Each structure stands twice: as structure tokens, then as C-alpha cells.
């Protein structure tokens, strides 16, 4: 089993948090708290990768480097996924 670590960016909005991964276009999640958003994003990534596998498409490799300007409304972190 291989472990992939995808970078995610979490943005704080007026009412909740929103997350996405630059390596997985279209894969997004939201949550009321930062912790819930990270958990929801992990589930979204798992579902996204499963869908790619079912469609016979390649699994994108995670970015080895990510340069991003983080403001007081954004958090940069990563999620490890076993595939």
C-alpha cells in the first residue's frame, strides 16, 4: 500500500471553512470548523481518487512542493491517503 500526501488549502469564509487541493481539480469540501473541514476534505479526496480508479484514470501524484501565500483567512496543510 502506498501513502500519498496531498496539500490542501483551507479558506475561512464568513460562516464556515472551505477546502480544496491544487493537485485534484474539482475536489472540494466545507465544514463549520477547521477540524470538520479537514475531515470532510479527507473523505472528499478518498471519494475523488476512488472515482478516478473506477473510471480507469491515473491517480495524480501529490505536489512535492507547494508555494502559496497564506493570509490570516487561509490555512495550508496536507492529508495523507493510503492507496
Q: Which of 6, 18, 8 is nearest to 73 (CA)?
A: 18
Sheet with 28-31, strands from edge to edge, namely 28-31, 17-20, 3-12, 74-82
Whether the CB-CB separation of 11 and 17 falls below 8 Å is answered with yes
- Give residue limits of the domains in the chain: 3-82
What does the pLDDT average to over 28-35?
94
Domain covering 3-82 in this structure, CATH number: 3.30.160.250
pTM of the model as a whole: 0.78
Whether 82 shows a pLDDT value over 70: the answer reads: yes
Q: Which of 74, 57, 82 is nearest to 22 (CA)?
A: 74
**pLDDT at residue number 64:** 59
Amino acid at each position: 500500500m502506498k501513502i500519498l500526501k496531498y496539500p490542501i488549502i483551507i479558506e475561512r469564509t464568513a460562516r464556515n471553512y472551505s477546502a480544496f487541493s491544487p493537485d485534484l481539480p474539482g475536489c472540494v469540501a466545507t465544514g463549520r470548523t477547521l477540524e470538520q473541514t479537514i475531515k470532510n476534505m479527507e473523505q472528499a479526496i478518498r471519494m475523488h481518487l476512488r472515482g478516478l480508479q473506477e473510471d480507469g484514470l491515473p491517480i495524480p501524484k501529490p505536489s512535492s512542493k507547494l508555494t502559496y501565500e497564506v493570509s490570516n483567512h487561509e490555512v495550508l496543510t496536507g492529508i495523507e491517503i493510503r492507496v
